[in-house]
Structure 1
Amino acid sequence: MKLILVRHVETYGNVEHRLNGHTESDYTPRGEAMKVLLVEELIALNEKLSFDKIYASPTSRALKIAQAVGQSTGKEIQVDHRLREFNFGIFEGKTRDECIEIFQTEWDQWMSSYIDYAVPEGQSQREYHDLCAEFLAELNEGETVLMVAHGGTIHGMLTNMLNLPLDCKWHFDIKLGSITIIDFNHGFGMLSHMTTPPYDELIPDQTPLTDAKKSAMRSAAREEAKAKAATKKK
């Protein structure tokens, strides 16, 4: 089996450094341009490898890419909820600083035992890892499968297929809009290809968010976090 793992492109949550697991986040202007290039790459890859199946996370930042590839190749998209990003629970949609300010105790517990600590209203990394293993076990030998999902999902698939400890996932830099290919046969995985299209070279400079825009977003987020923290302390 050949598994092509694709991470979605840039969203506002990415540039604001938010823990958006199940939380929706729109593409930035740069992300929209990245999506066009990524879909073209995947259509060309389909002509070379011929995808037997296309799976996608139900979260729109991944699903829209899979749908565009499906429309161009005439292939059906299978949405699987196990391909969603890690569920950050009470930390969802917040930056690191906001999490520390509002949920200091829970954040410290997570940092001290992030693999087995189940984030309140969310999950643990071990539970997430097991979901990825469950998905892989249902795939068919001999097929070429495209999976469009998230950085966490791809980390989970890699540690499972390469038979690595969970904390080894940090050795893989899964960039936005990247393509990772694994050959996985009879339970043995081999990393055969990792690439990221040259987005910086191909996308005009005016499309990324400006520093001023990013600063305004972060300032508004900090004020929101302070207000929530003050309410919690009352």
Structure 2
Amino acid sequence: MSNTFLSAGQGWCNRYLLMRHGHSQANQEGRIISTPERGLDAFGLSPDGHRQLDTLLPQWQWPTPTRIVHSDFLRTTETALRVADHFGLTVQAEPRLRERNFGIFEGGPDSRYPDVWARDAEDAEHGDNGVESVSSVARRMSGVVAELERTRQGETILLVSHGDPLQILLTALDGRGLSRHREQIALAPASVTPLSRNVSPP
């Protein structure tokens, strides 16, 4: 993936904030919900997730977003709408920011995540058990940033997505091997991570 990114000297047109959705009903139940069939209309924010946003938004410590782009899953949509309501903004759904598809593990216990991540560490291209490959996630996530870089300028854009996709995006933009995405510090629910200007834009 590293050869798809520009050199750092070319700089960024926009500022980006990466946000993982708040604690969700899937988190609460310890279930993997990764397909549109389940994730678009169900498994939204849990009561804990709403409380996280109740605390986070009045204490917002990052630049104020001018645009919010979000995964169209219910948990990310609800998160984006809470932020948008706080800042008086509208939201833009973007399917490329969706959760990674975990194949046959869909609907099952989240204790299966480590099995997938161990295989990721061996091969970023694997699609074992119908799981979406790390490289596929990296392409679609970085494609969103690349399009925003082409079409927007001088904005502060909040991207609301999911844990695995955001960690994979950060790994890709950092120019490190995608199989190392779990070396990224895990992003907590409702956390906000500014995208460093030290990494190269796609």
* TM-score, length of structure 1 as denominator length: 0.65
Q: Does 1 or 2 have the higher relative contact order (CA < 8 Å, sep 6+)?
A: 2
CA offsets per residue over residues 67-89 of structure 1, 9 Å max, x none? 12222322221110010110112
Residue 27 of structure 1 corresponds to: 45
Letter of the aligned partner of 1:71 in structure 2?
D
Change (3 A) 1:55 1:72: same
For the pair shown, the structure with the greater C-alpha radius of gyration is: 1
For residues 116 and 144 of structure 1, the distance between their equivalents in structure 2, rounded to whole angstroms, comes to: 32
**5 Å matches for 1:66-81?**
66-81=80-95
Conservation of the 8 A alpha-carbon contact between 1:3 and 1:184: no
CA offsets per residue over residues 142-187 of structure 1, 9 Å max, x none? 3211111111121122112211211332122211111100134782
Residue 30 of structure 2 corresponds to: 17
Residue 124 of structure 1 corresponds to: 133
Residue 76 of structure 2 corresponds to: 62
Q: How many residues align structurally? A: 178
Residue 187 of structure 2 corresponds to: 174
CA offsets per residue over residues 181-207 of structure 1, 9 Å max, x none? 013478259xxxxxxxxxxxxxxxxxx
For residues 95 and 181 of structure 2, the distance between their equivalents in structure 1, rounded to whole angstroms, comes to: 21
Unaligned runs of 5+ residues in structure 2 are 1-13
- Asked if 1:6 corresponds to 2:22, the answer is no
Residue 57 of structure 2 corresponds to: 39
Residue 158 of structure 2 corresponds to: 146
* TM-score, length of structure 2 as denominator length: 0.74
Letter of the aligned partner of 2:166 in structure 1?
I
CA-based RMSD of the aligned residues comes to: 3.0
**5 Å matches for 1:152-231?**
152-171=164-183, 172-184=185-197, 187=200
SS in 1 for 2:196: strand
